[in-house]
Amino acid sequence: MKSSSIKIGICQLAVTPDKAFNLRNAEKMLKAAAKERCQIAILPEMFNCPYEAELFSRYAESYPEGKTSTMLSETAAQEGMVIVGGSIPERDEDGNIYNTCFIFDEHGCLLGRHRKIHLFDVEIAGGTVFKESDILSAGQDVTVIEAAGLTMGIGICYDIRFPELSRLMALAGAKLLIFPGVFGMTTGPAHWELLMRSRAVDNQVFVAGAAPANIPKASNQVYGHSMVVDPWGRIISLADEKENLLTVEIDLEILNKTRRELPLLQHRRTDVYDIYKKM
């Protein structure tokens, strides 16, 4: 491994209604990522429960008492690996429920948490109908953290559709943007790859999308296709729809080279943008 490289693992899990099974499965794949010498392991959105809004309250946990965050913390410490914990339904002290990603360092200490900012309220004719805001509260914070010698930005699923958020994370120094997400069979084939590559090119960063695996007979069919994209917009690792551990080395020199040769961020016309803000 080059000195400028970091190895990451994306755990594309099959998520079932059995929470205990989901946690065991996640722990098993995290440990497999550690055996592959991954420095950072990433789980999918809502990896401890089915992605069904009416179930979120039943599966919700509070931090730090919850079984899921405890497993993540203990596994991170045991394996000496940073864990980006996909997301789970988190219940706060006031009873609000958030779609939350907990991030733990290699000692098992909480580095931060990202609460999904943009809630997925859509009604696509002949396709997806979903209203997260019936159950979930929206997060308010942009999440950028330092871990494993790397600055990372964290978003969750629908957050990737809003380029302002990714740009804010890149301007804050993020070189890898991580998006755990559950795309279905309407939006997945149309937009999943497009969005990952767009955010990578927009901001000249690496982008990792962590999705759950599809279960053929499940009521909710998901797209899968976890992937990692480089700052030039090239897909450097891609899963299919099946359960899989995706491991990939990201070389930060590719990011530096891209930004030297095509200095996009330096060419931003904030003087013009500021004028439009005032109009």
Which residues are annotated as catalytic? 45, 116, 157
Sign of CA dihedral 130, 133, 136, 141: positive
Q: What one-character DSSP code corresponds to residue 190?
A: I
Which residue carries 């440990």 as its tokens?
31
Distance spanning both ends of the chain, measured CA to CA: 50
User: Among all chains, which residue has been given the structure tokens 């693992």?
Assistant: 9
- What count of other Cβ atoms lies within 10 Å of the Cβ of residue 178? 29
**Secondary structure E strands in 49-168:** 82-84, 88-91, 97-104, 110-115, 121-123, 129-131, 143-147, 150-154
Give the amino acid at 203: N
Helix/strand/coil for 24 = helix
- Report the Cα 197 to chain-centroid distance in Å: 14
Q: Tell me if residue 140 falls in helix, strand or coil.
A: coil
Reading the block at residue 46, the tokens are 């809502």
Structure-token pair, residue 94: 């006031």
Residue 128 contacts residue 122 (beta carbons within 8 Å): yes
Q: Using CB atoms within 10 A of its CB, is residue 237 exposed (0-12), middle (13-18) or buried (19+)?
A: middle
